[in-house]
């Protein structure tokens, strides 16, 4: 199993550009999550999904959108990138009451 994969690993965006961060898992987990981690800080929940077709807002959803058309994939869309969105983005998945498995992260810089 590859576990949770994220692409790209690094990206630099200009202000106002848009992009999609990809997240995929091959463990047939029903729960998936997107977090952002600013330097030296904890993780903030952006969006989460409890199954295909179901998504819900987390703590900091503004400026982001998600979709969950399949169990495996949970892309995060940034529209009109702003410097405040410079961060490391982590995707995670889990099943039941078990622990979350995290991807390696995407380091995003908005200039």
Partner 1 sequence: ELKVEQNPLFLSMQEGKNYTIYCNYSTTSDRLYWYRQDPGKSLESLFVLLSNGAVKQEGRLMASLDTKARLSTLHITAAVHDLSATYFCAVDDDDKIIFGKGTRLHILP
Residues at the site binding partner 1, with contacts judged by CB under 8 A: 31, 33, 35, 41-45, 48, 50, 56, 58-59, 90, 92, 97-105
Radius of gyration of the chain (CA): 13
Q: Which of 108, 107, 102 is nearest to 4 (CA)?
A: 102
- Beta carbon nearer to partner 1, 14 or 99: 99
- Beta carbon nearer to partner 1, 17 or 60: 60
Nearest-approach distance from CB 92 to partner 1, in angstroms? 8
Nearest-approach distance from CB 42 to partner 1, in angstroms? 4
Nearest-approach distance from CB 80 to partner 1, in angstroms? 26
Number of H-type helices and E-type strands within the chain: 0, 11
Pairing of strands 10-13, 106-110: parallel
- Beta carbon nearer to partner 1, 24 or 105: 105
Taking a C-beta distance cutoff of 8 angstroms, is the pair 11, 106 a contact? yes
């Amino acid at each position: 199993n590859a576990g949770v994969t994220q692409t790209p690993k690094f990206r630099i965006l200009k202000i106002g550009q848009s992009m999609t961060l990809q997240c995929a898992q091959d463990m047939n987990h029903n729960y998936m999550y997107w977090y952002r981690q600013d330097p030296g800080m904890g993780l903030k929940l952006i969006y989460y999904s409890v199954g295909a077709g179901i998504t819900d807002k987390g703590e900091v959803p503004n400026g982001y959108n998600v979709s969950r058309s399949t169990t495996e994939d949970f892309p995060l869309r940034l529209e009109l990138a702003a410097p405040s969105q410079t961060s490391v983005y982590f995707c995670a998945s889990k099943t039941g009451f078990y622990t979350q498995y995290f991807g390696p992260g995407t380091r995003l810089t908005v200039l």
